[in-house]
Amino acid sequence: GSSPTGPKVPMVRANRILRHSTMEQRQLRDETKARAAAAELGLDPAPKKEPKPSMLTQEMRLEEAVRTEERSREEFKALQSQEDERRRSRRQRRRVMYNGPRIRFVSRLCADAGAEPLIGGRPGVENSVEFIDCSFEEICGGTSNSG
């Protein structure tokens, strides 16, 4: 049979649709062949690109490593200072002082662990209640005279 006349569609071949990646690979292969043929004929091939990382010399790799290390250190310092600033601002926001009357419960370890603990206490632990800017009577609503 004869082939239909008109422009060919590059993506269709033998009733089959080719993937885009396959077409790219073929184009790359064709370009490589064309460059090799031009080099054999002595024609000036396309301008050379930057050497690939695998083709870098030892000295070039060391220079790149130094640049990368410097850039990494600068980024690390910037990140660290941002985190420090964030921590400082969080601390400042959290610590709002309350200056009114309050009750503080204090629990600490005692050096004298042999003493008998108070009722409900644990051996070696001293518990206390502090009334700040107020008195026990104020908190409890006055003194109670039961008896």
Tell me the two tokens of residue 113. Answer: 């662990």
Q: What angle do CA 62, 64, 66 make, to 5 degrees?
A: 70
pTM over 0.75: no
Find where tokens 């077409």 sit: 23
The 3-state DSSP class for residue 30 equals helix
| CA quadruple 33, 37, 38, 40: dihedral sign | positive
Q: Name the token pair of 145.
A: 């005279």
Handedness of CA 116, 105, 102, 132 (dihedral sign): positive
**pLDDT tens by residue, the chain, 147 residues:** 555 555 555 555 556 677 778 888 888 999 999 888 888 787 765 556 665 656 778 889 999 999 999 999 999 999 999 999 998 888 776 667 778 888 888 888 887 656 666 666 777 788 888 888 888 887 787 655 554
- Beta bridge mates, 140: none
- Structure confidence at residue 147 (pLDDT): 44
CA distances from 35 to 25, 29, 40, 55, 68 (A): 15, 10, 9, 19, 34
